[in-house]
Structure 1
Amino acid sequence: MLIGEVARRSGVSSRMLRHYDALGLVRPTGRTTGGYREYSPEDIRRIFHVESLRSLGLSLKQIGRALHDQAFTPSALVSDLIRWTEDRMARERELLERLNAIDASAPTGWQDVLRIVELMQDLNSTSAARRQQTVLARPENAPVPAELLARAVLTESDPNVAGALRWALTRTGDDGVATLATGLRSADAGIRRRAVLAIAAMPGAPGTTAMLTDALGDPDTTVRRQAALAVGRRGVTSAVPTLVGMVVDGVNDVEAAEVLGTLSHDPGCGERIMTALVDELAAPTADSAIRIRLTQALVELPMATAKETLRRLANDHDPAVALVASAFVRVRSDEGRCNKQS
């Protein structure tokens, strides 16, 4: 088969076939009666072998080694190709994010594009102070686009810079919520944690309560706890088990108890919270410190709900629990007398 016919049937251009010939990758082994080089079926199979290896990202030099050197094994090379491909994909994703951010800012001219690029560079600076100043020192008439802020929030590890980014994001309206929502679906628990904190700071944005409620089922404990505090403050009662668990574990237990106190003003939920706290008080694993925290959480509940339980705890077998409960009962009683006198 002559070169033109091979090119037509294989999809490999005549120019590339001649290049393969020059490199010694695929040389036609036959000759026509007129002296023209002719490709044999074996030559054509070799062309497809070369094209198959090219489709994996191998260079022509690497393909030559693979086809000629029997000692050239694929394992190490394939591992390198995987790493190079992942690096290239990461660079391309970064480029796509930059282009999307520029597009979302609706630039009217190339000066606007250059301004956004400069912002990206500042937000990606290795200096935390510079990243923070980029947000805080921005003129009112030149705000940072919400898309950029949301992406920066999801990747920022410095707590001070992260706080500044969340503050700035809340001032942009609801535009960054969609980007934050993608953070909730990340495989990286750190990104999901940052997404929850940022979404929690935007209570007026549509759909955020549903997003945070879904996060109560997150596999990461910190994400669940952050979501529970946020949705509990918004009146979502499904946060109760996580909040009670926070009191037991002593993680943001004061905040969790305050949120439980707010939720307990719903009569149905108040009874549920009361039962959960009392059950934890009676648990065999509840040591003195846990029972003191649970007693303090009871104080956050309406007096009518927690009064009898606190009185019982004032005579608890654990002196420390009894002391805490007694003090709270006296304080509550004094408050009640003052209210009656006034």
Structure 2
Amino acid sequence: MPIYLYWGDDDYAIARAARTLQQRVLDPAWSAFNANKLDGRHPEAASNAIAQALTPPFGNGGRFVWLADTDWCQRCPEPLLSELTRTLPQLPPTTTFLLSTLKRPDGRLKSTKLLQRHARFTEFASIPPWKTEALLQRARQAATEANVRLDRSALEHLAATAGSDSRQLAQELEKLHLYGLGRDRPLDADDVAALVSTNTHNSLQLADAIRSADTARALTLVSALLARNEPPLRILATLTGRFRIWLRVKLAIACDDRDDRAVAAAAEIGNPKRLYFLRQDVQPLSIDQLRGTLALFLELELALKRGSESAATLQRGAITACRWCASPPTRPPGNLRHMQA
């Protein structure tokens, strides 16, 4: 009775993993009879999923039951908890029961603790855009699985282009696989640039524009990101993560810490060789400028969570942050009311 719980905000990765699991469980000739996917948002989905999971498969192979978007690990009524406690240990060994949710399981709930005893939990979280080493590692792994040979420059270009979008990464690798058929050398950055759809606007570029005090470019990037329906809080999360890394590197420089491995670990940088470029980035900035900009981002986040209009808030914030990075005022940027004046 294998039971799995997939959770995280990368819904495309969850769907791919679910398909792989289903193909492993089912006999193709009997898949139409033995595969069930239910929408966990419907009131009757939980009881129907349990009933299907208890049913032996027809013909050969096993039975696959997928309860998607379940909230069993966020809230679970007592009658359902009692039913799960009674039935989960009784599932037949021929059934593979998959639960999926976009939300983090609440470890305090009895239902979560029950599932932890019977199910295998796997997280599918999107990689933040500022974690470039993690994005590069995922691009390398995905290219290997897709049987696409890429050199280092091609991997870096692909990781920068696809970013944290696993759906786009898979689609681009399909094109690169076809293009690379019959070639006796790995694809390079020029090959990737010619085929991969490049998104010229991302939050990391916005961070660089603010760091360089390029107000015009920062405002252009804010407008482009919002036009692409990029969530404002995600934009701020990327900016905060980037400036936090720059601040930690700047503090290491101020302390004359030359242990690159220790600095990289403190800044959550996978490759210590990146410190050379990060040191160049922060050279024109002071610790106070980096701290003040981080404080501004936290105030912007609070304003957005309180219902401030996204475009105006981010535009005012970008202008203030650029001014702060160009020439810090006598006091840190703060109190969004003075930006609205």
Please indicate the TM-score interval, normalised by the length of the shorter structure: under 0.3
Larger radius of gyration: 1
Normalised to the residue count of structure 2, the TM-score between the two structures is 0.24
- Structure possessing the higher relative contact order (Cα contacts under 8 Å, 6 or more residues apart): 2
Which structure dedicates a bigger proportion of its chain to strand?
A: 2
